[in-house]
Amino acid sequence: MTQNKKNIFAKISGRQIFIPIAALLLLAVFNLIFDPSFYKIALSANSAGDPVLSGYLITILDYGSELAILAIGMTLVTAASGGQDISVGAAIAIGGSVILRVLCGTDSRPEVLQAPIIVAFLVSCAVCMLFGAFNGVLVAGFKIQPMVATLILFTAGRSIAAWINNNELPVISDPSFGYFGGFIPGIPIPTPFFIAVICMIVMALALKFTNLGLYTQAVGINAGSSRLNGLNPAFIKFLAFVILGLCVAVASLIKVSRISSINYSVIAKDIEMDAILAVALGGNSLSGGKFNMAASILGAYVIQFLTTTLYKFNVKSDALSAYKAIVVIALVVLSAPVVREKISSLWMKMKLRTKEVG
Amino acid sequence: MALFNKSSAAQKQLQKKSISDTNLLLSITIIVFFVMYIGAIVFQGSGFLKAQTFFNILNANAPLIIASCGLSIVMITGSIDISVGGVTALVSMCCAVYLDHQGGNVFVSLLIALAIGLGYGLVQGLLIAYLDIQPFIVSLAGMFFARGMTTIVNTNPFNVENKAFVALKETRVIIPGLGSVNKIGKYVDAYVEIGVIVALLIVLILFCVLKWTKLGRSFYAVGGNRQSSLMLGINVKRTRFLAHLFCGVLAGIGGYVYFLHVGSGAASHASGMEMNAIASAIIGGTLLTGGVGNIIGTLFGVLSLSTIQNIVSSAGLDQAWWTGITIAAMLCLFLVIQSIVMARKNRSSLK
Residue A201 has pLDDT above 90, yes or no: yes
A13 belongs to a structural domain: no
B184 belongs to a structural domain: yes
Most confident region among A222-226, B23-27, B254-258 by mean pLDDT: B254-258
A273 vs B51, residue with greater confidence: A273
Q: What is the mean pLDDT of chain B?
A: 81
A331 belongs to a structural domain: no
Per-residue HEC secondary structure of chain B comes to CHHHHHHHHHHHHHHCCCCCHHHHHHHHHHHHHHHHHHHHHHHHCHHHHCHHHHHHHHHHHHHHHHHHHHHHHHHHCCCCCCCHHHHHHHHHHHHHHHHHHCCCCHHHHHHHHHHHHHHHHHHHHHHHHHCCCCHHHHHHHHHHHHHHHHHHHCCCCEECCCHHHHHHHHCEEEECCCCCCCCCCCCCCEEEEHHHHHHHHHHHHHHHHHHHCHHHHHHHHHHHCHHHHHHCCCCHHHHHHHHHHHHHHHHHHHHHHHHHHHCEECCCCCCCHHHHHHHHHHHCCCCCCCCCCCHHHHHHHHHHHHHHHHHHHHCCCCCHHHHHHHHHHHHHHHHHHHHHHHHHHHHHHHC
pLDDT band at B183 (very low <50, low <70, confident <90, very high): low
Contact yes or no for B275 and A338 at CB 8 A: no
pLDDT band at B189 (very low <50, low <70, confident <90, very high): low
Contact yes or no for A328 and B141 at CB 8 A: yes
DSSP H helix total and E strand total for chain A: 14, 2
A353 belongs to a structural domain: no
Angle in degrees, CA A19, A24, A26, rounded to 5: 95
B324 vs B108, residue with greater confidence: B108
A255 belongs to a structural domain: yes
Residue A197 has pLDDT above 90, yes or no: yes
Report the pLDDT value the prediction gives residue B317, as an integer from 0 to 100. Answer: 64
**CA atoms of A69 and A74, how far apart (whole Å):** 9
Q: Is B302 on the interface with A (CB under 8 A)?
A: no
Residue B173 has pLDDT above 80, yes or no: no
For residue B92, the domain's CATH number is 1.10.3470
**Mean pLDDT value of segment A251-271:** 85
B15 belongs to a structural domain: no
For residue A25, the domain's CATH number is 1.10.3470
User: Which of A92, A93, A69 has the alpha carbon at shortest distance from A275?
Assistant: A69
B49 vs A168, residue with greater confidence: A168
Residue A157 has pLDDT above 90, yes or no: no
**Mean pLDDT value of segment A18-29:** 82
Q: What percent of chain B is predicted at pLDDT more than 90? A: 25
Residue B177 has pLDDT above 60, yes or no: no
Lowest mean pLDDT among A193-207, A228-242, A340-354, B139-153: A340-354
Report the pLDDT value the prediction gives residue A237, as an integer from 0 to 100. Answer: 92
Residue A204 has pLDDT above 80, yes or no: yes
Report the pLDDT value the prediction gives residue A137, as an integer from 0 to 100. Answer: 92
Lowest mean pLDDT among A220-224, B20-24, B36-40, B302-306: B20-24
Residue B13 has pLDDT above 60, yes or no: no
pLDDT band at A316 (very low <50, low <70, confident <90, very high): confident
Amino acid at A232: N
B190 vs A151, residue with greater confidence: A151
Report the pLDDT value the prediction gives residue A7, as an integer from 0 to 100. Answer: 62
Q: Is B345 on the interface with A (CB under 8 A)?
A: no
Report the pLDDT value the prediction gives residue A15, as an integer from 0 to 100. Answer: 67
Which of B80, B93, B136, B341 to mutate against chain A (most A CBs within 10 Å)?
B136
Report the pLDDT value the prediction gives residue B241, as an integer from 0 to 100. Answer: 94
**Mean pLDDT value of segment A202-217:** 90
**Mean pLDDT value of segment A71-89:** 90
Task: Report yes or no: B212 and B236 within 8 Å, Cβ to Cβ.
Answer: no
**Mean pLDDT value of segment A75-85:** 89
**Residue A326: its chain B contacts at CB < 8 A?**
141, 145
Most confident region among A130-144, A253-267, A284-298, B321-335 by mean pLDDT: A130-144
Report the pLDDT value the prediction gives residue A59, as an integer from 0 to 100. Answer: 85
A350 belongs to a structural domain: no
Amino acid at A239: L
Amino acid at B205: I
Q: ipTM strictly over 0.90?
A: no
| C-alpha distance from B230 to closest chain A C-alpha (Å) | 18
Contact yes or no for B328 and A86 at CB 8 A: no
Contact yes or no for A144 and B288 at CB 8 A: yes
Q: Which helix (H) or strand (E) holds A80?
A: helix A56-81
**CA atoms of B330 and B2, how far apart (whole Å):** 9
Contact yes or no for B137 and A154 at CB 8 A: no
**CA atoms of A162 and A181, how far apart (whole Å):** 22
**CA atoms of B313 and B245, how far apart (whole Å):** 36
User: Which of A173, A34, A50 has the alpha carbon at shortest distance from A103?
Assistant: A173
**Mean pLDDT value of segment B324-340:** 80
- Tens of pLDDT along B73-109? 999 998 888 899 899 999 999 998 888 877 778 888 8
Report the pLDDT value the prediction gives residue B3, as an integer from 0 to 100. Answer: 45
Q: Which helix (H) or strand (E) holds A193?
A: helix A191-209
Residue A249 has pLDDT above 90, yes or no: yes
pLDDT band at A90 (very low <50, low <70, confident <90, very high): very high
pLDDT band at B20 (very low <50, low <70, confident <90, very high): low
**CA atoms of A103 and B323, how far apart (whole Å):** 28
**Mean pLDDT value of segment A352-356:** 77
Task: Report yes or no: B325 and A156 within 8 Å, Cβ to Cβ.
Answer: yes
DSSP-derived secondary structure letter, A288: S
**Total of domains in chain B:** 1
User: Which of A99, A224, A67, A222 has the alpha carbon at shortest distance from A170?
Assistant: A99
Q: What percent of chain B is predicted at pLDDT more than 70? A: 85
B199 belongs to a structural domain: yes
Q: Is B140 on the interface with A (CB under 8 A)?
A: yes
pLDDT band at B21 (very low <50, low <70, confident <90, very high): low
**Residue A333: its chain B contacts at CB < 8 A?**
127, 131, 133
Residue A338 has pLDDT above 90, yes or no: no
Q: What is the mean pLDDT of chain A?
A: 84
**Total of domains in chain A:** 1
Which domain range does residue A155 map to? 19-314
A198 vs B5, residue with greater confidence: A198
Contact yes or no for A318 and B336 at CB 8 A: no
**Mean pLDDT value of segment A64-77:** 92
Report the pLDDT value the prediction gives residue B184, as an integer from 0 to 100. Answer: 55
B287 belongs to a structural domain: yes
Q: Which of residues 167-186 of A touch B (CB under 8 A)?
A: 167
B77 belongs to a structural domain: yes
Residue A76 has pLDDT above 70, yes or no: yes
| C-alpha distance from A325 to closest chain B C-alpha (Å) | 5
Which domain range does residue B275 map to? 2-7+20-350
